[in-house]
Chain A
Amino acid sequence: MDRRTTIKWVLAVAAATPGMHGAAYALEAVSGVADTSSVQGYGTDPDLLRVYKAGELWPLTFTASQKHTVKVLCDLIIPADASSPSASEVGVVDFLDEWISAPYETQRQDRATLLEGLAWLDSEAAARYGAGKSFVTLSNKQRTAICDDICFAPKAKQDFVTAANFFARYRDLTAGGFYTTPQGRKDVRYVGNVPLPRFDGPPPEVLKKVGLA
């Protein structure tokens, strides 16, 4: 039974037997890649009104070297353009660190996926471009060559399937981290979350565009 299967199995039992949820946590000890088992979450009644920053609720994980790789990959996925800054410029690296360090099952699984994926990027860089190379020391063209092989899981070659699954999850989290910032909301031109005296519904040009004017 591999680790993922074990976790799924334990979770199924935990769901069936309320009160056993804690059993899933002990598995982290054997995984090697992650140990957040002693960390507590924010519980069932956190203060909803204060502003939370990465690292306040649980200790962060990334080493300086990992942070560098994370930043490079974030900005390959969401680079700066005319509409908005890059992902790393709006704090997505810290968000990913907060995410993989969280003491919850979903995040524990992502912790393994991301840390293993980041290590894979470095080993792939060395395999393709020579010993001593790491992902961050590659040229942009070389980084893109690797990403092109793993950016679409359904069409990835057999050797790249695991890496492609990592990339898909990494892209989802990077996008989620980015579009939830003020700059991200502006990028997609979200204009809500403001009090209005009345709600007018869609303006005429919107109805016209969909053929309902």
Chain B
Amino acid sequence: MPFIDPTGVNGETYDIIVVGSGAGGGQTAYTLTMDGARVLMLEAGRKYEPALETPMFQTPDLAPLREIDTPGKPFGFYDATVDGGWQVPGEPYTQTNSDTAGRFDWWRARMLGGRTNHWGRISLRNGPYDFEPHGRDGLGFDWPISYEEMAPYYDKVEMLIGVYGANDGLENTPSSPPGCLLPPPKPLVSDLLIADRSRKLGIPVIAGHRAVVTQPLDWKNIPAKLHPGNPTAQQLAADAMRSRATCLWATPCGRGCSIGANYQSVTVHLPPALASGKLDILTDAMVREVTLDKAGRATGVNFIDKKSGRERHANARVVVLAASACESARILLNSKSAAFPDGLANSSGKVGKYLMDTVGSSVVGQVPLLESLPPHNEDGAAGLHMYTPWWLYQEQHAGKLGFARGYHIEFGGGRRMPDLDTGAELEWLTGGSYGRQFKKDVRRYYGSFVHFSGRGEMIPNERSYCEIDPVVKDKWGIPVLRFHWEWSEHETRQAAHMQKTFGQIIEAMGGRVREGVETDGAKAIHTGGSIIHEVGGAIMGHDAKNSVTNRWCQTWDVANLFITDGAPFPSNADKNPTLTIMANAWRVSDHILERMRRKEI
């Protein structure tokens, strides 16, 4: 039972349908099949095989336009994402506001594994504070679960997918139990310089956490911790771990990894799930709606088989949406019936509401100390060897910052693979040289740049949401989303604070800020959706009146309908959401299995 064609679903009744194959869908299918449930996974994009398709070691001169981004490949030619981006041909969405401050740009990856193929692999745990943000400052919403409830699932996910990092014991930056983390890579010289100067400013710098395998996974001991009392699952997990290679310290993770050294749903979650014999995967299957019986229970989904353009139905006892926060909200809103005229599971009116992204702002600096360094290989793990977690809890508590919540800093530098920007826009340093002097200048400045990006918490608000556009439909005839977006001053002031901080660090390194820092936060903040940390839209809560799901991400209105992507997040901590999506998906999947065993659903 592996990849099937659309006729394969005829007459079958699966235990569970999982819509989506990324971090949420991949983890859900893994957990469910390891326990013996029969699962059908529906993916709107095509089948994708990293072992055969990943451009490992390809250089820019072999690609069209030196690998630069185009509308068809918005993160560059060699980026792993195919058939995806902020625009997908034939699958539009609309905005109520077109300017950069009031817009939400929606990223989609229509391919097996979704966004996990190209993501940055940054894997940070939410801390205890991040589950009770309203309790701490009165803004937004608390999670209906605590850090203590999520922690065992963070442990399991880290052990399964392989995450490097270290335990530094900083405030609201959880440590992992022994055996969870892999050793972090050695810092680059730019990391060490940033760390040294940051610490002098009172800013901590610690090991980054990323889903990259830096030493062989402990396949002898980890499987028993992941699947106690389940030898079949242990064997499947051990086999999958042994099939992954360790990082070879070259070629960017964003291209994907043909040797499975980083986490992609396609290389980590799906192989053991397929090997269990319990998973069927149907690609090019665009889900339109969840179907119901007369008693109001979900019976399955209607989907478009993209290859034939025909609509089909698949049956299951339980439906799990993990299509991405907004796509899951869209499916619910499009699942209209007499009983649910405003869309399914929407008795609260909250489906699509409280859409969040991450606050982003960036600064680039040039550092004379890093000029003309002796050549050495700085490819490393191709991302974040070190980072700065949010550190100003006391100042914020004392009311000194002017905004709520915090941000972490992702930074980098080094003698990276030269690209189209190498040697570009150097006039501010060279005074416009050309000829032999220009070549000398490029040699001097190559590798001397550092970049800082803030990634901060956005507080959910009433004016940032998606709904169904009353007119526009996609090429399959499915009504599309219309986005409303607005930042509050908490976010724009945070972006201004990022700019000021990054400028201070660059100056402390003896460097110069390119183009200066932007003191106007509304200009400094990146457009909504551009960080691609879309969460919310079907938030979980304690009360059916103001949330879409309960603590188990089970919709209040339909007992056998669950959501395991970012949609149930009631807040969007500065920590990148992917690890929490996976931990939560495992937690929810365990609960589904338990309820199915008790024949409650």
Contacts and interface: CB of A to CB of B under 8 A. Distances in A.
A141 interface: no
Contacts of A42: 64, 70, 72-73
A18 to B, nearest CB: 4
B374 A190 contact: no
Interface string A60-97: 00000000000000001111010110000001000100
A192 B417 contact: yes
Given A41-B71, A98-B65, A190-B415, A198 B423 contact: no
A188 to B, nearest CB: 4
B442 A179 contact: yes
A77 B60 CA distance: 21
B198 to A, nearest CB: 13
Nearest to A103: B70
B542 interface: no
Interface residues of B, number: 86
Q: Chain A interface residue count: which class?
A: 35 or more
Contacts of A83: 439, 443
A5 B375 CA distance: 45
Contacts of B438: 77-78, 171, 175
Contact of B72 (A46, A180, A199, A203): A46
Contacts of B421: 176
B138 interface: no
A31 B88 CA distance: 28
B65 A180 contact: no
B62 interface: yes
Interface in A190-213: 190-196, 198-203, 205-207, 209-212
B434 A76 contact: yes
28 contacts: A17-B92, A42-B73, A45-B46, A45-B82, A45-B83, A48-B78, A51-B62, A81-B439, A83-B439, A98-B64, A155-B432, A168-B427, A178-B423, A180-B67, A180-B418, A181-B61, A184-B418, A187-B443, A190-B416, A192-B416, A193-B250, A196-B249, A199-B186, A202-B192, A202-B378, A206-B374, A210-B369, A212-B193
Interface of A: 12-13, 15-19, 21, 41-46, 48-49, 51-52, 57, 76-79, 81, 83-84, 91, 95, 98-99, 102, 104-107, 147, 151-155, 168, 171-173, 175-182, 184-185, 187-196, 198-203, 205-207, 209-212
Interface of B: 46, 53-55, 57-68, 70-73, 77-78, 82-85, 87-89, 92-95, 97-98, 103, 185-189, 192-193, 196, 247-251, 255, 369-370, 373-381, 415-425, 427, 431-436, 438-439, 442-443, 446-447, 472
10 residue pairs, one from A and one from B, having the closest CB atoms: A152-B432, A175-B423, A16-B98, A201-B186, A176-B420, A18-B92, A192-B379, A172-B424, A189-B375, A195-B248
